[in-house]
Chain A
Amino acid sequence: MSSKTRKLAYSLAINEALHQTMTADSSVFLIGQGVKSPWYVGNTALGLLDKFGPSRVIDTPVSENAMTGAAVGASIAGMRAVVVHPRIDFMLYAFDPIINEAANWYYMNGGRASVPVVIWGIINRKGEQAAQHSQALQVMFAHVPGLKVVVPSTPYDAKGLMVASIRDNNPVLFVDDRCLYGIEGDVPEELYEVPIGKGIIRRNGSDVTIVATSYLVHEALRSADKLQQEGISAEVIDLRSLKPLDETLLCDSVARTGRLVIADGGWKTYGVAAELSALVHEKVFSSMKAPAARVTLPDVPAPASSALEQAYYIGEQDITRSVKRVMSS
């Protein structure tokens, strides 16, 4: 790894991944609503249009189905498309090209044609944006064979996972939280990949494992700091990829600590937390000192009013409460 590392915002780390992959590989292009406008995609597309021109940086009409299908089709025809949905809610119009076509294409054609496309959906939580502007829908895609799903939490991973997603020969859902765009972290200048399907231990601990995704990794780390002061040693795992899942990392950790709290920004029922809970009970049940606990959104659509938002969203305190319950059971 290069010694040239500096602080970079999460959104600029994605921007750098796009600049560098598009420079290195002329088959890479970006398509989606707002790639010309900072209003939509933050500064993730900064400078791309000037550098690569309108044939490779394509702003589009509001046609999520056809635009996603076009990205899939271009990728079948030898390109590596990145299609961005500034609000993942609107991406539901594109279920057909993502699931029926992209996910199945390689399999149902017996490996004759692959689909190296990146489908990038941005979650916009809070801000009284209500039910159709705030949903975290990534797990729906993680359910489907043939799709990979990554959920980076740091600027380093945002860049490395975007690069890995673009270079992957399969459809990858890159799902990020807009609330992370301003956070800064160490990012190497050079082009590098973070491997898809590998989680990482963000903090070592011995009493309990907290596994978290995306922005909740930061909440989990704050929670672990507080818990330390109370004599509870929490290990924090950042899953980074929902699929493929780093089963070994998670199960080894739970085998050591014997306890698991799962923090995920999706809904509870049939969600990421449900899957991880089932996994550890199947694989390391005998090491477990307490049942796994889930910290998730309630099974309720996102409300508008900030008064209700406070009750709806989860964070450090919910994780801490859950850990204490697991420790005492």
Chain B
Amino acid sequence: MAVNNAKLRELYHSMLRIRCCEESFIEPILSKEVRCPVHLCTGQEAVAAGICGALEKKDYIFGNHRSHGHYLAKGGGMKEMVAEVYGKETGCSRGRGGSMHLIDPQVGMLGSAPIVGGTISLALGAAMASSIRKDKRVTVSFFGDGATGEGVLCESLNFAALKNLPIIFACENNFYSTHLPISEIRVSNRIFEIGKPFGEQSFRVDGNDVLQVFDRAKKAVDLCRRGKGPVFLEFVTYRMHGHVGPDDNIQGCHTDIRPKKEIERWRKKDPIVKLERLLLRKKAMSRDALAEIRSMVEQEVREAHEFARTSPFPKKEDLHRYVFKD
């Protein structure tokens, strides 16, 4: 599929914003200025950017514990996200949610939650709402390989196919379920195959190649939009950091999980570097233009942290607010 240069630049911008924003949390986490659990998605940017790049603003997404990328790619405000991670009143969830509860209904980001598999059925319901209203929206459910161990995934796959719901099940297979490698949680690592017996159109995609992600996502969105959903997509990718925080879980350190060579192998498949090479090769962007966009993104990230740091914390007297809506 031909992707024009403007779209390539847009995808690059989207990925770079996620990468720079993710890496910017490391220092405030280490200094304990950021205290909530932060699950960084460095290395997985192409999935969020490629899928959300194929969606319209009105479409819905639901995320999981590792959803900074999903939120940003769908159009959620960076300032509000960073402020949320700092636990500030100006955060997207007014400091009540933290990093694991990002939301921006105005751009179709309907929420994220760390109960593994917990938002899959919520996304199913959002797709059902669209189906009832015939509003032509598509919903994407983002979850990881760990969520394939949850029964609710099977229930949701079955029902979505039974009712031809406009939903894309987007599984980011990063080969680790918290601390356990995939070989210790599943007999087969070919996750996309679990969609087939339930009636899903199922595909495996290189999750570190944003063009392949975008291409497959666009086809899936078109199918759903035409009432021919659902679609199950497995994105093969890798998180460059460990499960939570900046610790990379390298074998030999105290978390002692991943072989260093494995991490190095995946570093060579960095999705952002891969796209930069393509942009230069296709002359879609010059080196100067790449530097310029990077400096613009870094400026945006600095401003987001400045906004978060200078924002007020929620007031103690507001502890009871938002339990019930009037």
Contacts and interface: CB of A to CB of B under 8 A. Distances in A.
Interface of A: 29, 55-56, 58, 60-61, 63, 65-79, 81, 96-97, 100-101, 105-114, 145-146, 148, 169-170
A109 B121 contact: no
Given A66-B159, A109-B97, A109-B101, A72 B325 contact: no
A146 B159 contact: no
B62 interface: yes
B95 interface: yes
26 contacts: A29-B132, A58-B128, A63-B155, A63-B159, A65-B151, A65-B155, A69-B118, A70-B124, A70-B156, A73-B129, A74-B125, A74-B126, A77-B125, A77-B130, A78-B133, A79-B129, A79-B133, A97-B118, A100-B115, A101-B115, A108-B96, A109-B97, A110-B95, A111-B94, A113-B111, A148-B324
Contacts of B95: 110
Given A61-B162, A106-B323, A109-B93, 6 more contacts: A61-B159, A69-B122, A72-B125, A73-B122, A76-B126, A79-B133
A113 B110 contact: yes
Interface in B48-67: 60, 62
A106 B159 contact: no
Contacts of A78: 129, 133
Interface string B88-125: 00011111110001011100001101010011111111
A228 B122 CA distance: 53
A239 B159 CA distance: 38
A61 B155 contact: yes
Nearest to B124: A70
Contact of A55 (B94, B132, B321): B132
Nearest to B117: A96
B326 interface: yes
B132 to A, nearest CB: 5
Contacts of B93: 108-110, 112
Contacts of A146: 323-324
Contacts of A72: 121-122, 125
A21 to B, nearest CB: 15
Given A72-B122, A77-B60, A105-B111, A110 B323 contact: no
Contact of B159 (A70, A107, A112, A114): A70
A69 B126 CA distance: 10
Contacts of A111: 94, 321-322, 325
Contacts of B158: 61, 63
B212 interface: no
Contacts of B104: 112
Contacts of B128: 58, 70, 73-74
A146 B129 CA distance: 23
A85 to B, nearest CB: 15
Contacts of A110: 91-97, 322
